[in-house]
Amino acid sequence: MDLYKKMLIKKMKKGGSQGPDQNQWMDSQSLSKHDPLTMSLETNLHIMQSIYTKCPDVYFRLFLIGGRTKAVLIYIEGLSNTEEIDKSVLSPLMQQTTADNLNMYTIFEQNLTVSKIKEIRTFSEVIEQISSGNPVILIDQQSFGVSVGLAKWEKRSIEEPMSEAVVRGPREGFTETLTVNTSLLRRKIKNPSLKITSMKIGRHTQTQVMIAYMEGIADPTLVEEINNRLQRIDIDGILESAYIEEFIEDHPFSPFPQVLNTERPDVATSSLLEGRAVILVDGTPFVMIVPTTLFSLLQSPEDYYQRFMIGTLIRWLRYSFVMIALLLPSVYVAILTYHHEMIPTNLLLSIAETREQIPFPALVEALIMEITFEVLREAGIRLPKQVGSAVSIVGALVIGQAAVSSGLASAPMVMVVAITGIASFAIPRYNAAIAIRMLRFPIMLLAGTLGLLGIMLGIIAILIHLCTIRSFGVPYLSPIGPMKGPELKDVLIRAPWWSLTSRPRLTGNYNKYRQASGQKPDPTKGTE
DSSP for 57-103 reads: TEEEEEEEETTTEEEEEEEEBTTB-HHHIIIIIIHHHHH----TTS-
What mean pLDDT is predicted for residues 168-175? Answer: 91
Confidence band for 487, pLDDT divided at 50, 70 and 90: confident
Cα–Cα–Cα angle for 228, 233, 234, nearest 5°? Answer: 140
Please tell me the predicted confidence (pLDDT) of residue 4.
44
Residue 148 to residue 116: CA distance in whole angstroms? 6
Interacting residues of 70 by C-beta distance below 8 A, sequence separation 6+: 41, 62, 64, 139, 140
SS3 32: strand
Please tell me the predicted confidence (pLDDT) of residue 185.
95
Instruction: Tell me the DSSP string of 335-360.
Output: HHHH-GGGS-HHHHHHHHHHTTT--S
Average pLDDT along the chain: 86
Asked if the model's pLDDT at residue 160 lies above 70, the reply is yes
Choose the weakest-confidence range: 365-369, 405-409, 476-480: 405-409
Confidence band for 237, pLDDT divided at 50, 70 and 90: very high
% pLDDT > 90, the chain = 50
For the CA atoms of the chain, what is the radius of gyration?
30
User: Are the C-beta atoms of 135 and 59 separated by less than 8 Å?
Assistant: no
The DSSP output letter for 219 is -
What mean pLDDT is predicted for residues 88-109? Answer: 78
Please tell me the predicted confidence (pLDDT) of residue 12.
46
The burial of 11, by beta-carbon neighbours within 10 Å (0-12 exposed, 13-18 middle, 19 or more buried), is given as middle
The DSSP output letter for 178 is H
Asked if the model's pLDDT at residue 415 lies above 70, the reply is yes
Of the chain, the end-to-end C-alpha distance in Å amounts to 81
Asked if the model's pLDDT at residue 319 lies above 90, the reply is yes
Interacting residues of 62 by C-beta distance below 8 A, sequence separation 6+: 70, 71, 72
Peptide bond preceding 301: is omega within 30 degrees of 0, i.e. cis?
no
User: Are the C-beta atoms of 69 and 140 separated by less than 8 Å?
Assistant: yes
Please tell me the predicted confidence (pLDDT) of residue 356.
82
Cα–Cα–Cα angle for 242, 246, 249, nearest 5°? Answer: 120
Q: Which segments within 103-164 are labelled E, that is strand?
A: 117-120, 136-139, 145-148
Question: What phi, psi does 15 have (nearest 5°)?
Answer: 60, -130
Asked if the model's pLDDT at residue 269 lies above 90, the reply is yes
Higher pLDDT, residue 388 or 369: 369
Please tell me the predicted confidence (pLDDT) of residue 156.
85
The 10s digit of each residue's pLDDT in 106-147 is 888 888 888 889 999 999 899 989 988 999 999 998 889 999
Please tell me the predicted confidence (pLDDT) of residue 508.
67
Cα–Cα–Cα angle for 356, 359, 365, nearest 5°? Answer: 100
Asked if the model's pLDDT at residue 357 lies above 90, the reply is no
Asked if the model's pLDDT at residue 410 lies above 50, the reply is yes
Residue 163 to residue 109: CA distance in whole angstroms? 46
Asked if the model's pLDDT at residue 465 lies above 50, the reply is yes
SS3 502: strand
User: Are the C-beta atoms of 329 and 511 separated by less than 8 Å?
Assistant: no
Asked if the model's pLDDT at residue 30 lies above 60, the reply is no
Residue 362, amino acid = A
Residue 161 to residue 461: CA distance in whole angstroms? 35
Asked if the model's pLDDT at residue 526 lies above 60, the reply is no
Asked if the model's pLDDT at residue 1 lies above 50, the reply is no
